[in-house]
Structure 1
């Protein structure tokens, strides 16, 4: 078997052949996708999109550090499956974000990879046709084109990083990233986060452990060297300087919500003991709502009550919302425009109400701080 240095010198085709030959074990079907450089050349970052991304990164950093007293709100579909519905949602969210901009720093979820506990649709990036036939080349183009349009609307974009290769194609469009509960203990994802040029939220583990998220923050803040791809698709050693803007996301676990005051205090103590800033984000969906989209709105309002009472450790809230409430089964009946095919989401009307309530809570917190 050849060394990685030898393979890197021969280029990506040699690596594909090596995996196809059976020399490294396992069975592989290989399909060459465009290199990062090719895709970025085809769909370049426009001036308008670049301005949106830059402003979004600065905004999220300032809010998470406490230099901006607004509340970060990361909101949008569980995962994008329909580009047209995603854009329709983005246009409506952009208008609402502008209305509430004095109190909320709104970032849209544009999630194109769907982590799975077992199996299921794995997201727009891998399966853009929703037919179970992977087409990463088409998926990468579809995802990048969508993100460009959203960014050009002036909306900062959030996504979850799942595939270690995806940032080479998409990171220049992202203002806030997440490492999920299933991958927060992965060394690969901690190394990846250490080199990402945006704030990254580390979710508590799938068992509910906040300690693994704290460990992930410490790891991602340090320099790393690891195997990655350059713009031409060649394997290279990537060296990072560390990401100082990682933070905890409380997302609960099965039957174990962790959004209440005592959970926030406990997480803040863990962060403080590790000599880390205590600001954090709370995910009102997933384990904190029992994946019940109606319950999600109630959880968000309970979080808002903590904010209104003056809690300054809560710097952000995550919400899953789409145009139509609930979820639909992929391939069953006529598709419903703007309804999730993965986790159930709040509908648009409920999302508007929740965001306005969170804005009011943030105003009350600011007033309390101003009056002592």
Structure 2
């Protein structure tokens, strides 16, 4: 994991803390307790100083909720564009990838020290090797969920895996990933030439993010027999950030009043509302997908906490 460049290792107490975090979330997922996991944060990491300001405000909130912070250092692309902080941390096409790895590693350790639970999306599993010990929840995106390499890799790690439906919103493909994930594999290691024999990973959630149309409706959800996270953004909100509130209202009522497998909600939120271009002129505004602002997130979390 640390052979390519010398990175600061996670101390034993913090490593054990992260393992305990994962165990707590596994208990909620596998036993389907009537508890809900809230996953939120900016669409993608773009400015560490601004992100820390956002985290300080999160830490001041007094909620008795199980929440995970999104630290998405890669940005999936259907064609071209900025691929995320780990590729281009200075947002200037300099592609200082080594700097990006160091900065993200330090950021994750600092967040673990603040007793936060962390989530990311695995696009390039080579990068994830540098950060996996700090991460509780790993999402496989809509564009990579059909990848056999990602299925093999995830079958060999201890983290919770969130499997997004693909961009067509065909929910049958979620089951294909699940079957591959929970079973054993033999494959070549991604960072050396060792043969890996994985044992399978039974800790997963289906992430419904919409596709050709929203897919958080009760008709879809009642037929799924695995733990579900509903992504209130992306195609479920038609990529209009204020619509995340309407998705939340619908899904949270399903969680409270119907017998189903909903265990989580995901939001794209940041300090300020909306988005901006990659030129990044404004502080605390997403440079990728539009986000809800902190005030609206606070309202949502207050409502969940009150019930």
1:290 corresponds to 2:238: yes
Indicate if the aligned counterparts of 1:91 and 1:153 stay in contact, CA closer than 8 A: no
Among 311, 331, 337, which residue is 2:283 paired with? 337
**Cα separation, 2, equivalents of 1:263 and 1:355:** 25
Report what 2:273 is aligned to.
325
Report what 1:203 is aligned to.
164
1:265 corresponds to 2:222: yes
**Cα separation, 1, equivalents of 2:57 and 2:196:** 39
**Cα separation, 1, equivalents of 2:39 and 2:243:** 18
**Cα separation, 2, equivalents of 1:188 and 1:74:** 25
**Cα separation, 2, equivalents of 1:290 and 1:124:** 25
Displacement, 1:37?
Answer: 3.2
Mapping for residues 53-202 of structure 1, pairs under 5 Å: 53-66=18-31, 68-96=33-61, 99-101=62-64, 104-202=65-163
Displacement, 1:124?
Answer: 0.8
2:287 aligned counterpart, secondary structure: coil
1:346 aligned counterpart, secondary structure: coil
Displacement, 1:46?
Answer: 2.7
**Cα separation, 1, equivalents of 2:251 and 2:242:** 15
Among 298, 301, 304, which residue is 1:352 paired with? 298
CA deviations 1:62-86 (Å, max 9, x no partner) are: 1212364321011001000101111
Report what 1:27 is aligned to.
none
Q: How many aligned residue pairs are there?
A: 307
1:228 corresponds to 2:176: no
Cα gap change, 1:52/1:93 in structure 2, threshold over 3 Å: closer, same or farther? farther
**Cα separation, 1, equivalents of 2:91 and 2:249:** 35
**Cα separation, 2, equivalents of 1:54 and 1:88:** 26
Displacement, 1:51?
Answer: 4.3
TM-score normalised to structure 2 length = 0.94
More helix per residue: 1 or 2? 1
The answer for unaligned runs of 5 or more in structure 1 is 1-34, 272-277, 364-372
Larger radius of gyration between Structure 1 and Structure 2: 1
Among 251, 254, 265, which residue is 1:306 paired with? 254
Cα gap change, 1:262/1:202 in structure 2, threshold over 3 Å: closer, same or farther? same
The answer for unaligned runs of 5 or more in structure 2 is none
Report what 2:10 is aligned to.
45
TM-score normalised to structure 1 length = 0.79
Mapping for residues 271-286 of structure 1, pairs under 5 Å: 271=225, 278-286=226-234
Cα gap change, 1:68/1:307 in structure 2, threshold over 3 Å: closer, same or farther? closer
